Chains A and B, each alone.
Chain A
């Protein structure tokens, strides 16, 4: 039985470039606008209104018991879709038919009031999520136990640690009993232990035959939990089908992003009077038919630059940053004397070294091991996807590096 049928749904936003109507319009703006038009002074091209289609002609059907993972870049329309399905906003065009009670979990602890106690917030949040009072009452004990906040039930939640706050929020929503559950990226928060709990709970829900729609950037979780996947790009449903197939397709698109820069002549290249960059490139050694960088993929960084001075002692320094800004490592070449002309360098980054995540490389040319001649800050950007083998845990793997170190385990004594 089809429980969700979407026919040609679209959602349009108007972006007003000149006055940003959408967010911060004031009465005065509107009046003066009207006023100008009234006297024919309003120049039509003065306000540049741009239509932005967050979703465009999306069609799909979800069967009862389907567990659908929704993937795509930020701004691809995933959240807009969830908002439409949750009735938070209405589509500009098209129609969705939903059979069954829907619970949406777009945020953990929606409507929690910081001044209220844990106990009060359980009832508040439950009611906001659409639970009846008696339902909350009967689930109360179990919610408190799941969240592990027994001791702090009568403490205002503003005194909670962020971990407790999130646990309580999730515990409440985990006790919803809808026929269709819509979840947006809840796993992005909380520690590994908590994420494990969440995934376990979601698996329980899915095994009880309910329908789940799940937006996540955690592809490992999507693959473990979902039997189908939707891949959104620029507001369109680009691909749907079997999870593994869709995820692989998505990954091979992601990987092509910002892996190479090339400048034909020194005139157009970034640099200073002394050095100009010609090439910065990362060459992954894809393995096993994959077309994306994952945790196991080795990669080479190639750099080539023009040395414009007659003779100079130069070395390269390369920083690798996590997307969050922390520097993961900094490596430098030895300093050598170079004639005027092209200089090339290669760095090997082994497989099984970087953890999954987004990384940015910056490159510096240094003279006499002390003076920075030029720095190319965001020379390259790439993403490392997750890869799991022989592990049944799908939470976010902690850490910036994921080396395979020699770590042995054995039975040292048998107790009889």
Chain B
């Protein structure tokens, strides 16, 4: 036998070739992602149409409640339904990937207990499903934007940046929760609740310009500490144009929060991943 690679197994080891291992297993990452995707709408009657129906229905409800009943208005020159749809699109992307990542270890517990691969593959592979839903939802946005005659301008070139930031946010928080979820099943109860709160705490059904009136309030800085606030504002801005409210400076704290959280989460994940099987 020619070259034999040597592996050392001991407590706290395994760090050495981790990232290389992760890269070597990229096929598995892709295959797990494809599995989640193809299983998604099995045995449903209308299949992928759900990806269109859900954001559309949410938008309809928001428009009814906030625009027609509550007399909310979008920023000047921005159609309210489009603003809501843009907000829903990026928020749903975040919420889906965040939820999927948080549950990724538990959902794959049969793999965790029976086979080895870098565990980070599970949260990473669960991101893809969210992307597909996002793409469908974004397509829907463009159709409605065309109908409302409010197509995006040049700002759209920044769109991928905000999508990436949303992805990193979901990863940085999701990873942390996915580890906690292994030991404490409370997390599974907490997550839908967090997502629900986030929906109202973030400027989805309203414009963040309304918040500017409370610049002196004690909660103003806290509000912007939530990284999704500036990401949603930026996303809306890149789709709706300059009329949509977006405070560029708010991105600093966002990037800061994401970086710190991501580092903590990866550290925590790496520290705990070898003992997942003992607690799952």
Contact = CB atoms under 8 A, between A and B. Distances in A.
Co-assembled chains A and B: yes
Interface of A: 3, 13, 22-28, 30, 64, 83-102, 104, 106-107, 110-111, 113, 115-116, 120, 123-124, 127-130, 132-133, 156, 179, 209
Interface in B1-40: 1, 4-14, 27-28, 31-32, 35, 38-39
B113 interface: yes
Contacts of A107: 114
Contacts of A25: 183-184
24 contacts: A26-B184, A27-B186, A87-B14, A87-B116, A88-B277, A89-B274, A90-B10, A90-B12, A90-B13, A91-B11, A95-B8, A95-B9, A97-B9, A98-B6, A98-B7, A99-B4, A102-B7, A104-B115, A104-B116, A115-B42, A115-B43, A124-B31, A128-B115, A129-B115
B10 A94 contact: yes
Nearest to A99: B4
A110 B111 CA distance: 7
B218 interface: no
Q: How large is the interface on B (under 10, 10 to 19, 20 to 34, 35 or more residues)?
A: 35 or more
Contacts of A24: 185
B117 interface: yes
Contact of B9 (A23, A90, A133, A209): A90
A216 to B, nearest CB: 17
B115 A93 contact: no
Contacts of A209: 1
A86 B7 CA distance: 11
B275 interface: yes
A103 to B, nearest CB: 10
A129 B27 CA distance: 12
Contacts of A30: 184
Given A97-B7, A101-B5, A106 B115 contact: yes
Contacts of A130: 117
A130 B279 CA distance: 24
A84 B5 contact: no
B110 interface: yes
B216 interface: no
B10 A91 contact: yes
A22 B11 contact: no
Given A22-B279, A128-B111, A133-B27, A90 B39 contact: no
Nearest to A90: B274
B9 A85 contact: yes
Contact of A99 (B5, B27, B28): B5
B116 A86 contact: yes
A88 B4 CA distance: 21
A156 B108 CA distance: 19
Nearest to B6: A99
A128 B10 contact: no
